[in-house]
Amino acid sequence: MKIDTKELEDRQIELTVEVPDDQLQRALRAAARRMSKETKISGFRPGKAPYEVILSKFGEETVFEEALDELGQEMYRTSLEETELEPYAPGIFNDIVSREPLTLRFTVPLIPEIDLGDYRSLRIPYEEPVVSDEALEEAMEDLRQRQALIEPVERAAAQGDVVILDARGALADPAEGEDARLLDTKGVSVLVEEDSDFPVAGVYEHLLGMEPGVEISFEHTFQDEYPAEDLRGRTSRFDLTCLEVKSRLVPDWSDDLAQNMGEFESLLDLRVKVRESLQAQAEHNATQTHSEQVMQALVEQATVSFPPAALEEELERLLRELSLRLQGQNLTLQDYLKVEGKTLEDLRTELTPDARERVTRGLILGEVVELEGLDVEETEIDAEIEHLMEPLGREGSPELRKAFDSPAGRRRIAIDLLTDKGIKRLLAIARGDTIPEKETVAEPSGEDAVEQTITDETEAAELVNTEDAVEDLKETE
């Protein structure tokens, strides 16, 4: 068997395989036997009709079609063994190059290639966040404002009150064919304060003194710095109708107020807890920012090459995720495409950059996990299951626990834990922390950590698609 290989872009190899004539003849006769077993032929028992009779009844092309599928699989599998190629995913049958001798062409997607460079020398300082006194006071004031007692009053609106409004707004000078309407809303609550900006900045002077049942109108010119560029410098008219005025009494801080807000012993205890909460949130945000900086730096440093099959897998994953989110809104993917005025191909094109970025980052992180020899113990998976079940109470949900503890569930949790370990190791490296020496690679591998499933050669060989072979043959002839 003659095999020619040609390296293609994006981690792919083109195989051109010349099929030995004796192997082709065996495949044709085997196909004929299968056909004779499945079809009643007068004068012959099932499977016993001679080869020439089968050719005469069905025609050479039909027998060839039947033979080609299994023959193509066999040729592909044998070619992988002889070339010692490692496929990433099922191969692709391209075409029939010639009939005499029969020559087939396949494309083999190879496993991704990742070079992280000297990633252990990567340094990006981590800035420890500090919660300022001003931030604490702002958070405390926000909490106090939420405790305000709001009651309807029969008087004009004063500073600090809340007015309930119907509001309409329109452009004063719409262009021909332009929709002048800017706003039409009912029953909106607006705080009467100097910095109030609904429906526009400067509305405070119009809100102050409003009484129930009163309607006011005013003009407003949008400033040159207004976010919506098409409204900058244009004049509009707003009509506000006051439906109700409510007083808003904000209590002073006291131990009693703090205790009424939750399980706090005193105002001081509340302040301590608020600061701790702000610090935890600040540290979370700082870690997220640091993580993004480190990953971006590693992406720019690394060299990553992967076959189109990897990108296709990620695109399908993104489409499934979108479909699930839409289901939560009682929509289908088809409904979404119709509303957006897009085709499925448009959406795939739109998602491709994100998919490419996710594949690249996932492969990089998987390589870190592998190179660092990171692993997950069964006890860690058990502990994570308990952590996931904790919000559901002591009894929890038996069905959910069963799902978590299933082989697939445990593998999913292991992947998440490995991914988290990989990120933490990268952040420690970037901070310059002391890192253990690299260990022997453990299972599951880095590819598992990012859900990159590499199909073994046998499985890949069995999935080569040859259903269009006859049409390709006709074109070559």
The domains found in the chain, sorted by start residue, are: 2-111+464-476 (3.30.70.1050), 148-249 (3.10.50.40), 306-453 (no CATH)
Distance of CA 226 to the CA centre of its chain: 33
Q: Under a CB-based contact definition with an 8 Å cutoff, are residues 6 and 107 in contact?
A: no
Nearest to 7 by CA among 116, 69, 85: 85
Kindly give the interhelix angle for 60-83 and 469-476, rounded to the nearest 10 degrees.
100
Q: What is the pLDDT of residues 150-197, one digit of tens each?
A: 999 999 999 999 999 999 999 998 988 888 999 999 999 999 999 999
Nearest to 311 by CA among 114, 76, 464, 109: 109
Q: Which residue has the tokens 């119907």?
A: 166
Task: Give the number of other CB atoms < 10 A from CB of residue 313.
Answer: 19
Alpha-carbon distances of 248 from 151, 176, 202, 236, 261, rounded to whole Å: 7, 45, 21, 31, 18
Gap between the Cα atoms of 17 and 99, Å rounded: 12
Q: In sequence order, which residues have a C-beta less than 8 Å from that of residue 389 and are 6 or more positions away? A: 396, 397, 400, 401, 404
CA–CA dist 197, 188 (Å, integer): 13
The residue ranges of the chain whose pLDDT is under 70 are 394-396, 438-477
Q: pLDDT of 335-349, one tens digit each? A: 999 988 899 999 999
Q: Is the pTM of this model over 0.75?
A: no
C-alpha to C-alpha distance for 158 and 138, rounded to whole angstroms: 24
**CB within 8 Å of 115: residues ≥ 6 apart:** 302, 303, 304
The distance of Cα 298 from the centroid of its chain, to the nearest Å, equals: 20
pLDDT at 240: 95
Q: In this structure, is the dihedral angle defined by the CA atoms of residues 202, 162, 198 and 186, taken in order, positive or negative?
A: negative
pLDDT (0 to 100) of residue 438: 64
Rounded CA separation 289/30 (Å): 63
pLDDT at 452: 39
pLDDT of residue 396: 67
